[in-house]
Structure 1
């Protein structure tokens, strides 16, 4: 690493600041004020009990350098070269990786698996299995995570990279739960659920508009009669919702305002093979509303799996006690919206 980092007027591949920030975050060094040590004295590699400060500092420097070197070498050895360069040997990767291996050291000390001054070979024997989890994560990096890591900019970039790295291990080793990760995950979950809610609303708006337009296109002025049962159910919902209001007037409310996703699914299923006589430009329902979200994609039910999923996802979103949607489910919603609205 030494010849990879710019120091002073020397220029190299990596900036000094990310490495310095990562080291400060890592807990490999103690935090100190002018008068005393303030943090990480029990997990750092500096012997705060040694009154010979020059020796303590030199010993610490050797321990930290050797530990970082071994961690870098191991990941470089086990990871694809391109992935190593893209996610470890870059400025944001430098910060995240140095802070990551520092937090692994802290976890192992706190859990009693090593001590502050355990020999490097013994330290690495318990660090490597955790690094293997991280290496496997990068080797099978989810598309959503890769896009986020590559595209994120600004003040949140360093924290996002670090927490993504840490969480890759936390998912497999729950007892590894470094400071700050839990609060970051909560903030990510809130953002993810809001993203799901936004997609749910967008998908419903697009679907409702397209379905009603297609019915009017095929049936003209008589389009309502072909879904009269749905119209009646919508009117019942409106009366149930507003019937007790003093100024309620059913004539002033559009019955289509009460259409829901289940109605839309029914309409699509009924008109799956509908064509428009004499109009070769008309796109059949079965072509416009077939979206592949699973490997199986041959039957009508399989081609409408996405719609059943959207109904399920929307129900979960609207229930305060409902199960939170996973990143994979939100990715599916994004795919569905993109298929329905490719120009968005």
Structure 2
């Protein structure tokens, strides 16, 4: 090839990171955007464009991408997300494959890195349909690919692995068809809807590590290079299966490895058995490794030897063992090592500082089929008992006590306090809290969570204490002798809690010993510990206790409040008790805690926490009714204004403009009619315009934000009618209508029965009143 031809090819590609980032942002959008002079807008609007934003000298317009364009852009973005940073920047890339001028083929996407060149051709349909004949498409593919490889060698240098990808969306091709047979024969890859979704899942869950699994998918069994990996190994036998034990650098195992995920993209490998990685767990493992952590247990793999054989060269065997030592020679090929157990550990090494310097222990079988791998996987996961939450919480004391991070030391401290409460033979909670694997009537987590949210101890993120959590805390954050301070504060907290529980045990035995107790239950324990902490903070605010106060001094000051609580619990009616006991699910612990505070407040009205004040407001039926009145009127105003304006802007075509919303409203109207009929209300006609939701109004307001009737340029737009500053200014559409989302969230408090627990606070009612006044003060 001539240099000018090489330059023409390279000029259609870019590795400029800044430019690629802008292209990626553009391709992620479902719209094509352009900026034009204001005087040209009408012509473009008639051609299907819509106004996105009006600038000083230009108007930015947009229109939806075609289905095929969106598909191409989606696939381009996938390869960008996989880490490719040398890609085509427009749709006019053509690659020669022969000597004649016409021997060129458009490539929709080309993605290049240091090792691979991926050539992608995209075909799509807006609706699912059969592919039709692909004879012309694939019959000459082998010759074209041969030509492509020669050109790529000349343009980008020799040694790059080339993969042709035929990508489809909504196109059905029989996997047993002659077309797929022709494609596979050329060692190309068929990239269908399942593949696209699977790779999206990999990117979401694996982040940077997705690349390794992707390369295994694309280049399965293809050599990375011709040099074998030679490592010392021990050969052994168990369960009539030969296996090898060795240590291998993570970066090698990442390239050799492949995980049989349960996904349709791996249907040819069925049965598959692995779950996708858990992103948070992967992130935690990376952090653990980068901080010097390691895993002493082995990764379990299976070498698939369909194309490349693993060879063991023995050197010695002792008379005392059937095992023998030697050199294991592993082909350096993609996806020949199926990871049966340990995928989180393997992929956790990606993007760490130790992928090449560490070695990890491996147990490798050979030639296990998928069923045998599945059996091993189940045996490991069924017969190896996972560490229970209780044991993990218990171990925190030993693992984190000497940590150099404050949040970890506080976790250890909470764990140590709870263990001391459970194991102290002198305390009322002896043997009543589960510790390690030992079961008990109270869960460890109830005490860990209660201590965390009580205020008896501060909270921290990393080495930074959260300021608002330090006031009233027994733990002195300024003491740099962490071990001494932890021991000191542990002693005080344990003594204080034991004194508080002894009060229940000795003075209120009927409460303490009851099987379904309001105190001796998980939710009750959380609420009781939270109340103790709240009372400690309350008295600290009034100067009655400080960090020098002993446990006994604190108890003597707060005991009157606890007695007020316990007296009411003791005399609580069956109905009241059942009401409290029935609070389950998300937020139940918090509800119990607030109820305990409320019972104390009834006897000591001066005791009020900020959260209790707001919670009491939310129980106020008059306040809720006032808020409901404003909310209903606001919604009426929105409906009237939105329908009036949309009709004024579009005239007789207004329903067609919002037809997608109308269809949903009609469906809701039919459902409401059916519901009324089944409830014995007979046939009731319901207008579809009665079924708008707040989000429907919001969608219309957003879409036609600045739209005006053609003949009325002085028209009051949606922007004029619905822009409201809620403290963040009116600098953008999003800020101007942020109030709608807040209004919609509050609407649930008055629109549905059974939400009285939530209610409305005074601040929320003031918000509704302000919106109401803004709307109706402008109405003649």
Q: 1:102 to 1:154 in 2, by over 3 A?
A: same
TM alignment of 1:103-142, pairs within 5 A? 103-142=534-573
Compute the displacement of 1:151 (Å). 1.6
* 1:103-182 alignment, distance < 5 Å: 103-182=534-613
Could you tell me whether the CA contact under 8 Å between 1:83 and 1:139 is conserved in 2? no
Question: In the alignment, is the contact (CA less than 8 A) between 2:523 and 2:588 conserved in 1?
Answer: yes
Counterparts of 1:2-151 in structure 2 under 5 Å?
2=422, 3-38=431-466, 39-82=468-511, 85=514, 86-151=517-582
In structure 2, stretches of 5+ residues that fail to align are 1-420, 423-430, 626-780
Counterparts of residues 250-269 of structure 1 (less than 5 Å): none
The DSSP-based 3-state class of the residue aligned with 1:121 is helix
1:23 is displaced (CA, Å) by 0.7
Alignment CA distance shift 1:95-1:81 (3 Å): same
Q: 1:72, CA displacement in angstroms?
A: 0.5
Q: Secondary structure at the match of 1:64?
A: helix
Would you say the 8 A contact 2:531–2:593 is kept in 1? yes
**3-state secondary structure, aligned to 1:19:** helix
Q: Distance in 2 between matches of 1:191 and 1:65?
A: 44
2-structure distance, mates of 1:191, 1:154: 28
Give the Cα separation in 2 of the matches to 1:83 and 1:144: 20
- Conserved? CA contact 2:432–2:440, under 8 Å: yes
Inter-partner Cα distance in structure 2 for 1:81 and 1:163: 23
After the TM superposition, which residues 290-309 of structure 1 pair with which residues of structure 2 at under 5 Å, given as runs? none
CA distance in 2, matches of 1:84, 1:157: 22
Question: Unaligned 5+ residue runs, structure 1?
Answer: 195-344
**2:617 maps to 1:189:** no
CA contact (8 A) 2:618 2:624 kept: no
The aligned residue for residue 668 of structure 2 is: none
SS state of the match for residue 48, structure 1? coil
Q: Secondary structure at 1:176's aligned position in 2?
A: coil
Separation of aligned partners in 2, 1:145 and 1:186: 20
Q: Which residue of 1 aligns with 2:721?
A: none
Deviation string 1:148-198 (CA, Å, 9 cap, x unpaired) is: 11222211321121111111111221221124112222223349978xxxx
Contact 2:458/2:473 (8 A) holds in 1? yes
Structure 1 pair 35/8, CA: closer, same or farther in 2 (3 Å)? same
Separation (CA, whole Å) in 1 of partners of 2:599 and 2:622: 19
* Larger strand fraction of residues: 2
Asked whether the equivalents of residues 114 and 123 of structure 1 are also in contact (C-alpha less than 8 Å), the reply is yes
**Higher Cα radius of gyration:** 2
1:80-116 Cα deviation digits (max 9, x unpaired) = 4246531111111111111111111111111111212
Q: 1:182 to 1:50 in 2, by over 3 A?
A: same
> 1:33-91: per-residue Cα shift (whole Å, max 9, x none)?
21321133231111112110011111111111111110010122111424653111111
Is the CA contact (8 Å cut-off) linking 1:47 and 1:56 kept in structure 2?
yes
Partner of 1:244: none
Tell me the SS of whatever aligns to 2:533: helix
- Answer whether contact 2:433 2:441 (CA < 8 A) is retained: yes
Distance 1:7 1:192 in 2: 46
The alignment of Structure 1 onto Structure 2 pairs a total of residues equal to 195
SS at 1:129 equivalent: helix
Partners of 2:512 and 2:520 within 8 A in 1? no
Q: 1:42 to 1:22 in 2, by over 3 A?
A: same
Equivalent-residue separation in structure 2 for 1:70 and 1:9 (angstroms): 27
Checking the alignment, whether the CA contact within 8 Å between 2:472 and 2:540 is kept in structure 1 is yes
Say which structure, 1 or 2, has more relative contact order (CA 8 Å, 6+ apart): 1
Q: Secondary structure at the match of 1:87?
A: coil
Q: CA deviation at 1:143?
A: 4.3
